[in-house]
Amino acid sequence: MLNDPAKESEAEPIEIRCYFVRERNALLVRGEFSELYTDYYLHLMQHKIRHEKERDQLLKDGLAALTLHLASRPWNEAIAWTLNWQDPLQNIFLTGSNRDGQVTGRIFTEDIRERENNLFFSQTNIDGQPARKSMIEIDQLDLFRMGERYYEQSEQLPGRFFRYDEEDIVLITAQPECDLEWFTGLDEEKIRNIDETEELSLLEKRSYRFACGCSQARILPVIASMSGDSIEEVFGEDEVIPAACPRCGARYIVTREILEAYLREQE
């Protein structure tokens, strides 16, 4: 099971490479996401989750965008992104941490809050500091364009995403004194030839994998924190209830017997 913490090491990490573009003063972050997508699909199969083709692509693009963004950030950051889209009504949730090199995400299609506008929420957690939050309006159902909008308004520096290949994605961000005329003139063809046209200096390599770390044992405290009446309402006349991880959508089964045993242990 990919969601069994004891077996998370079976998920093959991907390598993200960070380069400095000399003379242009830009940071280029690049990764090939085939292995990460494979683990994502194994996760869906394991938990019998199915997405429509368009939503599946949105989530994959979001995972790539967040991973590249994480790789450009300090090692002590964990980040969560949520896109609340109104038509069709859905939430796309993405989260990842540089501390453990993990990214995950899911799509919500039920019990979505209706709003006047499409909104994107970002929360960055840094060790020992208050969470940094931001919210921006979004007008395109495109996770790469969403990321660019986030860079423009929240990071206050230009950032652009490109497909070097179908599953080979590039993020390039302008640094102080960046050659902005060159930066704004970039397109996919120029990105594919950038190794030949520009001088790139490798800064570092980082590793990430699709993983959440959730398990039945971690779901139990959430249910146990409910009042006795609420627990009875959830179970009703059943002895078994399904429970889903809010981060990755993994599905678990909780029985009355398991929950009661857990409550006895806590007492």
CATH 3.55.30.10 matches 5-210: yes
Of 37, 39, 32, the C-alpha closest to 7 is: 39
Residue 170 CA to its chain's centroid (Å) = 16
Average pLDDT value for residue range 249-266: 87
**Res. 2: pLDDT tops 60:** no
pLDDT band at 6 (very low <50, low <70, confident <90, very high): very low
181-219 residue pLDDT tens: 999 999 999 999 999 999 999 999 999 999 998 988 888
Average pLDDT value for residue range 45-70: 96
160-182 residue pLDDT tens: 999 999 999 999 999 999 999 99
**∠227-260-219 over CA atoms, to 5°?**
70
Structure tokens at 88: 């069709």
Distance CA 31, CA 16 (A): 5
At the top level of CATH, which class does the domain 216-266 belong to? Answer: alpha beta
**How many CB atoms neighbour CB 10 within 10 A?**
13
φ, ψ of residue 213 to 5 degrees: the values are 95, 5
Q: Where are the domains of the chain?
A: 5-210, 216-266
Rg (CA), the chain: 21
The better pLDDT of the pair 82, 155 is held by 82
Say which residue the tokens 């699709």 belong to: 210
